[in-house]
Amino acid sequence: MIKRPTAPQTTPRIERIRTFDLMRGLFLIIILLNHLSYYPSGLDIITGRSMMYVSAAEGFFLISGIVLGLVRGRKLLDQPFKKSTKLILKRGLRLYIEACLLTLLFTVIGWMFANNPGLKYGIASPDTPFLAIVWNTLTLSYSYGWADFLRYYAVFLTGAPIVLWLLRRGLWYVVVVISILIWSLYPLTPGGENYIELSWQIIFYAGMIIGFYWPELTNFWRAHFSRRTRIIISRLLFASFITTAIANFILVFGALFWNIEPLKSIHYDSIDFFEKDRMTWRRLLLGTVWFWGFFVFMRRHERLITQKLGKLLTPLGTNSLYVYTIESFVVFFAHLFIAPAQPLVQILPWYINLVISIAAIALVWLAVHKRFLFKIIPR
């Protein structure tokens, strides 16, 4: 059993986990490309066209939870609880305000392009009283224009102080039980985006537990397993990740794009078992294997990856919420002015899709590099 870490006399020095910065940066690129959905582009093999049984979004939220548990939990263990709570709720409030403003902004802009085929679905009717839209936005019953990520994050941060209070008392198992109970409520709801917080919170708060106990977990890993055993387990985990990911890619693309009949039957019989909104236990299990298998690879080759891709991935990963906000504008206007999303039916030639995709990544990276609106948009 993991023992509760006692508050040290001085705050322990916990190094930043650079692997998570690289992973989160890559996840944000995948999320951007999947939201753009300009396929085929040659980048399909990396993104899976958002059709895989696990998405980069799960990894993004898990890392966000880990970082919060580590930075606002473990690193501030010798500080008053009020300090952590204040920092968390302040960030949550900023994200809530930003999510509401983005929803209203994208709604108004969307009305100006009501007949545009690239307009994102789900926009409120212009006939709806604007005050009603504002109220629905403030109560989080209406979200539009890729503001959903920020809304989920704001809600999770609201519950984070309770989780942190329990973790500081060693009651991690209470967090697990409560989180599972909340997760199990989703099937009782009408479903859809308005209830995703119930199912997806299990990823975020699991991350908080992992982050809070990161020093204990890493010490346990090193103390109780020999180097040879650690290597074997890591290789098995990576092998499980890579084989299941390839199998899933072949299954999905064979069914949806290559029109292979046996694969179509298997895919459509299996897809409900990995429902994204509900976050089924099978999807959670597969996501766990993929995440930690990928982590093993990134951790093992962190130095090389940093040398080759660090200048691209690290700035994105360390400014993740800012990056997502900028991505939301890039995607929204790209669909209006260039072409609608094309995840299943090809509209543009593949090389045009590739150019647009690379240009979108470059535009987001440039915004980070130039610190565009850094003082306004939460990072």
pLDDT at 335: 93
pLDDT at 6: 47
CA distance 165 to 172: 10
The model's confidence at residue 216, banded by pLDDT at 50, 70 and 90, is very high
Task: Domain ranges for the chain, please list them.
Answer: 18-369
CA distance 87 to 90: 5
- What is the average per-residue pLDDT within 14-36? 93
Per-residue CA distances from 261 to 41, 45, 49, 251, 258 (Å): 24, 21, 20, 11, 9
In 3D space, the residue among 95, 87, 76 whose CA is nearest the CA of residue 160 turns out to be 87
Give 252's Cβ-side CA count (13 Å radius).
Answer: 20
pLDDT at 12: 57
Structure tokens of 114? 């009501």
What's the predicted TM-score (pTM) here? 0.93
CA distance 332 to 328: 6
The mean pLDDT value of the chain amounts to: 91
Close Cβ partners of 76 (under 8 Å, ≥ 6 residues apart): 11, 83, 84
CA distance 318 to 48: 24
How many residues are listed for the chain in this entry? 379
Helix, strand, coil distribution of the chain in percent, nearest 5: 70, 0, 30
CA distance 288 to 313: 22
